[in-house]
Amino acid sequence: MAVLIKQCRILACALFVFIFVGCSNEEPVIEPGWQLAQDIPRLKIQTRLDHHLLSHDEVQSTEDYVEATLSIDGQGVYEDQGITTIKIRGRGQSTFAQPKKPYKIKLPVQESLLGLPPGQEWALLANFQDGPLMCSMLAMKLGHILEMPFTPVLVPVEVSINNEYLGVYWLTAHKEVAPERIALDEEGLLLEFVRAGQRAERPEDKDFYQFQSTNFNLWVQIHHPSLHKVAMQDLELAQKQFGEIVRQWEEWEQAILDRSFSHDYGQILDKTSLAHLLIIYQFTRNIALNTPQSIYLHKNKDQVLTFGPLWDFDEAYGGSAYREYFIHNMDQDVLTGTQPGTQFFEVLLQDPELHKILKKEWKIFRQKGLGELRVFMANYVDLLDNTGAYQRDYARWYKEQDATKESQRKTLRAYEKDMNLWLDQRAGYMDKLLKDWKKERVSSFKLSSRSNICRNG
């Protein structure tokens, strides 16, 4: 009887919402965060160049902005937005060379788009390699569940530039230090592990402020403070700050490797955020952990380094050969080989306290978070399917290509089935990995081998 009464109350509340809210003349608005809408908004961008190449190819550079206008059709679930003057350029490196290109948008002033916190700079992620349009969305939702700091919210949108339909993109906040974005104090740090060979030559270029660490050979880029902006005003000051940050990093690395330091690196690095990062990268099998690349750390003054925000999962879920995600390497460790990232994280993984944290956090996620992740992704796939957005994106970018590869063609629902199988098998692998910790993990890399990776003995 109590259950029946409770169900009646829920039904009454639902009817109240339908009658008094659903019938309102006010336009429905989705709140910021990870609540999925019932439709996908349309972003229309028109460039304003003097000549008339009515094509998205007018945006040809990742350095130079093009003046344009932006309007948003919220499709009844987001607020419509009239014509706004913007600047747009390409973004990314190898991704901008692909047919479906990612973009960066800059507004005249800080403004909210589609319910997201206000900001001036925004990213349109193209997800061209991600044929099922699921990979980064799954990873970012996973980061949200595990409370990784500053995990970007991805809003699916359909984009056209100069009346040319470009398919499904994800609108998200550009990675910038700001109160509503990555909230750090003036003396804070935002660092990124990056791939070698990307350092710029001019101090006024943000990519100039990269260095290779002494002990692990990690390539680290400094994003905050913005030393390239400092260099435009005072080159000597920028060089001084750069040198100080490099020195500080070297001290941290040496402390991690110092035998007398034992495993008390928690004074330097937040172990819970490390555990969450390792769970995310192991569960998705993002092999970028080995390089490492696109892995961010941040700290405020007098605080420890913390991992976050998450970014870039193109190398996850078993690889991207012809969009073959979710079907390869389901039972293989993410850490493999002898790359700098592999060695760095293997050393950290020898910490018994980290093992306890990993087991605890994984158990919590296994019991509660995995179900939440499944429900969210099921709703997300329904959104792509029911709105026809996936079919339109597929027709724009993949249909002609797939016509020559009939045996490899997949539907959205086939990708969904593969994804769910991946979640099942990868979760089972994680259970076994943590259970067999001593046998599988500690023996794979010993602190005594640090002389093999240290330049200074």
Question: Where does the pLDDT of residue 332 fall: very low under 50, low under 70, confident under 90, or very high at 90 and above?
Answer: very high
Element (H, E) at 105: strand 103-111
Q: Quote the CA–CA distance of 376 and 390 in Å, as a whole number.
A: 17
**pLDDT-based confidence at 405, cuts 50/70/90?**
low
pLDDT, residue 321, reads: 57
Percentages (nearest 5) of helix, strand, coil residues in the chain: 45, 20, 40
Q: Tokens at residue 68, please?
A: 């344009």
Cα(44)–Cα(70) distance, integer angstroms: 6
For residues 216 and 453, give the distance between their C-alpha atoms in angstroms, rounded to a whole number.
Answer: 6
pLDDT the model gives residue 323: 65
- Contact at 8 Å (CB) between 286 and 341? no
Do 175 and 149 touch, CB atoms closer than 8 A? no
What's the pLDDT tens digit per position in 133-159?
999 999 999 999 999 999 999 999 999
Query: pLDDT band for position 248 (50/70/90)?
Result: very high
Judged by DSSP in three states, 152 sits in: coil
Residues 376, 384: Cα–Cα separation, whole Å: 13
Instruction: At 366, give phi and psi (nearest 5°).
Output: -60, -40
pLDDT value of position 63: 83
Segment 410-415 long-range contacts (CB within 8 Å, at least 24 positions apart): 410/131, 410/132, 410/323, 412/132, 412/381, 412/384, 412/385, 413/381, 413/385, 415/131, 415/132, 415/134, 415/325, 415/326
Kindly report the pTM of this predicted structure.
Answer: 0.86
Pair of tokens at residue 2: 């109590």
Crossing angle (nearest 10°) for helices 135-145 and 370-386? 140
Tell me what the mean pLDDT of segment 209-221 comes to. 97
pLDDT tens, residue by residue, 218-227: 999 999 999 9
Looking at residues 391-401, what average pLDDT do you find? Answer: 86
* Largest interatomic CA distance in the chain: 77
Determine the Cα–Cα distance for residues 355 and 347; give it in Å rounded to an integer: 12
Domain spans of the chain, in order of start:
42-173
Name the helix (H) or strand (E) containing 332: none
